[in-house]
């Protein structure tokens, strides 16, 4: 069995792996950025190593820093979690070249299935039907326009090496292609480190149904459950449930068998998920996620199978402990997972809401589980994913699970940041959701969120002293050590100068009044593109800047007709919620 696992991730999934490893008697190693130096996963791990930097690129995507932590800690295995390097074959190879176990699939399977283009070819080999689309990377906008003109609009541009809606853009006409492709590539590069994209037909009213599977290194592979993830916004999931409800007889089994065949076609082992689009009795292979997914707990609670434990045992060379028949016999009841994101539903706009969590109280009771990477006093950073936690609820059937989830949501307390909880309640109570008549487009096209907003976040304590890095020396049992400490600015540990705070690019504290011409951003983030220039005439609703917050691009629009009098930001600038970025006269 493995002795020490380094978790190359942060937040909720790092906490999840640390807890599973501890239950197995395995030591854990955390890594952390400057912003995460006192995060929950760091506090829980047996050891922790600094990666430096703030952004993902500077820390959790810094290969050499992570490899140094592996060497220094003596870890004999690495769990990548989800996101970051979890589907990066080069990183997996770098781990195995150190003689360290990779708790994930073989790099060759990541290469083939992690690339959505080659994964479509693998799915075809395994006998799974695929959505019409390209089998090579798109070389430019003209190629996408040609595809749309041939197959009909809308089409979907997708990041070839990503998932979760990151780097995915729906294009309704030929004249939208250039901007959509550029935006998809920027998001893909930011989140996955690769900017290749491809294009496929966009189905008009599909459900998103996926299959959780696990394989071992002895040729065994089983599918554990289906999950429905159709309640989405911006192609990112809000609510997931298992098993997928309302499927015609035989479809679930057919999906499971197709998923296993696709996995075996690339020699897959460890945990993975095959995603399908389902519409009008037919299902099409969408992609394979070569990692553990965010929604894995709903599969766990209806089967009693700890998927992280299985991952660790498979990486250690053990065979799967159950056959397909035994796994299917374990399924019991229905489960629902709610992703609690730091976003204000804002009547359907879903605006990111980074900031400190002043209070977090998880619900409890029969059949209720809450997985989180945060506690009261922790902070949601604009540089990382905005997942506060996951509420997972089991019921003996779907109706009970829905009612119990609503009860748990009413008990859940999150203060200091806005969350998606009001929208989650609106979804669960809607007759369409109850009757399984929703689709991946339903939240944005049908669900009426008029008046649904989050309770305003408590204002940040402007008087709170920021922490700065100080260097000093200490003596322990007669031995001298040079150390670094993070302390309030006014605390003088040594003569070393404090690090300067990064200056915000724009000024202005409050949000712009409607029609004021003082265009303010609604959230903290980074300016990635300025769409106007001084002297340009604009109309109400016209885009003026593109803001990236929590790895998603948001277009900020003009609030009145007029002329651009001043532009206060440039690409790359960091802004805060309420900062004025453009002035219109």
* CA–CA separation, 375 and 40 (whole Å): 7
Q: Exposed, middle or buried, 541 (CB in 10 Å: 0-12/13-18/19+)?
A: exposed
Alpha-carbon dihedral sign for residues 439, 444, 449, 450: negative
For 68, how many CA atoms within 13 A lie in the half-sphere containing its CB?
11
SS3 assignment, position 77: strand
16's tokens: 């999840």
For 141-171, how does the pLDDT look when each residue is reduced to its tens digit (9 = 90+)? 999 999 999 988 999 999 988 776 788 999 9
CA 44 from centre of chain = 22
* CA–CA separation, 100 and 522 (whole Å): 45
CATH topology of domain 339-460: D-amino Acid Aminotransferase; Chain A, domain 1 (3.30.470)
364's tokens: 């409890």
Owner of token pair 């550029």:
182
State yes or no: pLDDT of 401 exceeds 90.
yes
For 278-323, how does the pLDDT look when each residue is reduced to its tens digit (9 = 90+)? 998 889 998 899 999 999 999 999 999 999 999 999 999 999 999 9
**518-584 CATH:** 2.40.50.100
- The residue extents of the domains of the chain are 4-103, 132-201, 207-332, 339-460, 467-500, 518-584
Alpha helices, DSSP H, located in 382-466: 398-411, 421-429, 431-434, 442-445
For 378-390, how does the pLDDT look when each residue is reduced to its tens digit (9 = 90+)? 999 988 999 999 9
For 65-103, how does the pLDDT look when each residue is reduced to its tens digit (9 = 90+)? 999 999 999 999 999 999 999 999 999 999 999 999 999
State yes or no: pLDDT of 460 exceeds 80.
no
State yes or no: pLDDT of 494 exceeds 90.
no
Phi then psi dihedrals of residue 200, to 5 deg: -150, 165
Alpha-carbon dihedral sign for residues 99, 103, 105, 110: negative
Phi then psi dihedrals of residue 306, to 5 deg: -85, 105
Which residues make Cβ contacts (< 8 Å) with residue 200, sequence separation at least 6?
131, 132, 133, 134, 155, 156, 158
Question: By C-alpha distance, which of 456, 419, 417 is closest to 343?
Answer: 419
CATH 3.30.1490.20 given to domain 132-201: yes
Beta strand 537-538 with 562-567: parallel, antiparallel or unpaired?
A: antiparallel
* CA–CA separation, 80 and 102 (whole Å): 8
* CA–CA separation, 58 and 270 (whole Å): 29
* CA–CA separation, 402 and 435 (whole Å): 12
Q: What pLDDT, on the 0 to 100 scale, is given for residue 410?
A: 97
User: Out of 3.20.20.80, 2.60.40.730, 3.40.250.10, 3.30.470.20, which CATH number does the structure's domain 207-332 have?
Assistant: 3.30.470.20
* CA–CA separation, 424 and 231 (whole Å): 9
DSSP character for 320? P
Topology match between the domains 207-332 and 339-460:
yes
The highest-level CATH class for domain 4-103 is alpha beta
What is the average pLDDT value for the chain, to the nearest integer?
Answer: 90
**Distance separating the N- and C-terminal Cα atoms of the chain:** 68
Which residues make Cβ contacts (< 8 Å) with residue 131, sequence separation at least 6?
200, 201, 203, 277, 284, 285, 286
* CA–CA separation, 204 and 445 (whole Å): 11
SS3 assignment, position 121: helix
Q: Are 6 and 85 in contact (CB under 8 A)?
A: no
Q: What pLDDT, on the 0 to 100 scale, is given for residue 490?
A: 65
Question: Between vectors from CA 32 to CA 476 and to CA 293, what angle results, nearest 5°?
Answer: 145
For 61-73, how does the pLDDT look when each residue is reduced to its tens digit (9 = 90+)? 999 999 999 999 9
Question: By C-alpha distance, which of 508, 501, 500 is closest to 569?
Answer: 508
Helices (H) and strands (E) in the chain, counts: 16, 32
Q: Are 207 and 228 in contact (CB under 8 A)?
A: yes
406's tokens: 């609503």
* CA–CA separation, 159 and 172 (whole Å): 18
Q: What pLDDT, on the 0 to 100 scale, is given for residue 20?
A: 98
58's tokens: 């500077």
Alpha-carbon dihedral sign for residues 394, 398, 404, 406: positive
* Report field, pTM of the whole predicted structure over 0.75: yes
Q: Are 548 and 528 in contact (CB under 8 A)?
A: yes
Q: What pLDDT, on the 0 to 100 scale, is given for residue 344?
A: 94
For 27-54, how does the pLDDT look when each residue is reduced to its tens digit (9 = 90+)? 999 999 999 999 999 999 999 999 999 9
SS3 assignment, position 259: helix
State yes or no: pLDDT of 121 exceeds 90.
no
Q: What pLDDT, on the 0 to 100 scale, is given for residue 499?
A: 37
Q: Are 526 and 572 in contact (CB under 8 A)?
A: yes
Confidence of residue 504 (pLDDT cuts 50, 70, 90): very low
C-alpha distance from residue 480 to each of 259, 472, 475, 486 (Å): 58, 11, 4, 19
Question: By C-alpha distance, which of 272, 447, 255, 438 is closest to 345?
Answer: 447
Question: By C-alpha distance, which of 87, 85, 89 is closest to 69?
Answer: 85
């Amino acid at each position: 069995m493995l002795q020490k696992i380094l978790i190359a991730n942060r937040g909720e999934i790092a906490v999840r792996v640390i807890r599973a490893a501890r239950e197995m008697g395995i030591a854990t190693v955390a890594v952390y950025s400057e912003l995460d130096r006192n995060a929950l996963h760091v506090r829980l791990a047996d050891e922790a190593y600094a990666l430096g930097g703030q952004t993902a690129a500077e820390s959790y995507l810094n290969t050499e820093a992570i490899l140094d932590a592996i060497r220094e800690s003596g870890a004999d295995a690495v769990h990548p979690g989800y996101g970051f390097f979890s589907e990066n074959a080069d990183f997996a190879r770098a781990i195995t070249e150190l003689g360290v176990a990779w708790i994930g699939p073989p790099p060759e399977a990541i290469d083939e299935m992690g690339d959505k283009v080659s994964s479509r070819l693998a799915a075809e080999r395994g006998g799974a039907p695929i959505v019409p689309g390209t089998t090579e990377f798109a070389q430019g906008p003209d190629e996408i326009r040609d595809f749309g003109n041939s197959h009909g609009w809308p089409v979907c541009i997708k990041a070839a090496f990503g998932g979760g809606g990151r780097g995915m853009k729906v294009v309704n006409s030929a004249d939208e292609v250039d901007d959509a492709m550029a935006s998809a590539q920027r998001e893909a590069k930011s989140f996955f480190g690769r900017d290749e994209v491809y294009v496929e037909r966009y189905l008009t009213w599909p459900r998103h149904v996926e299959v959780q599977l696990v394989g071992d290194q002895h040729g065994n592979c089983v599918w554990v459950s289906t999950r429905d993830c159709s309640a989405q916004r911006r192609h990112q999931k809000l609510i997931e449930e298992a098993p997928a409800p309302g499927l015609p007889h035989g479809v679930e089994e057919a999906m499971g068998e197709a998923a296993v065949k696709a996995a075996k076609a690339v020699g897959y082992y460890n945990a993975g998920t095959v995603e399908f689009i389902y519409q009008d009795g037919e299902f099409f292979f969408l992609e394979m996620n070569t990692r553990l997914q965010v929604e894995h707990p709903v599969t766990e609670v209806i089967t009693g199978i700890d998927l992280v434990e299985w991952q660790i045992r498979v990486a250690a060379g053990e065979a799967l402990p159950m056959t397909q028949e035994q796994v299917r016999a374990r399924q019991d009841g229905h489960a629902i997972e709610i992703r609690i994101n730091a976003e204000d539903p804002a009547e359907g706009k879903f605006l990111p809401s980074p900031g400190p969590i002043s209070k977090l109280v998880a619900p409890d009771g029969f059949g209720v589980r809450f997985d989180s990477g945060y506690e009261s006093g922790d902070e949601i950073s604009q540089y990382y994913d905005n997942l506060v936690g996951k509420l997972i609820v089991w019921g003996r059937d779907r109706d009970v699970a829905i009612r119990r989830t609503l009860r748990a949501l009413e008990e859940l307390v999150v203060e200091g940041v806005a969350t998606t909880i009001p929208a989650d309640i609106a979804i669960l109570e809607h007759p369409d959701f109850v009757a399984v008549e929703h689709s991946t487009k339903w939240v944005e096209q049908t669900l009426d969120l008029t008046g649904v907003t989050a309770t305003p976040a408590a204002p940040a304590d402007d008087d709170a002293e920021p922490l700065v890095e100080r260097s000093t020396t200490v003596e322990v049992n007669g031995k001298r050590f040079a150390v670094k400490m993070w302390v309030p600015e006014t605390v003088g540990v040594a003569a070393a100068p404090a690090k300067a705070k990064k200056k915000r690019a724009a000024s202005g504290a409050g949000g712009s009044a409607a029609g004021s011409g003082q265009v303010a951003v609604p959230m903290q983030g980074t300016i990635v593109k300025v769409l106007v220039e001084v002297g340009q005439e604009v109309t109400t609703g016209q885009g003026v800047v593109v803001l990236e917050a929590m790895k998603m691009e948001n277009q900020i629009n003009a609030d009145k007709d007029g002329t651009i009098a001043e532009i206060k930001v440039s690409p790359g600038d960091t802004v805060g919620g309420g900062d004025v970025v453009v002035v219109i006269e």
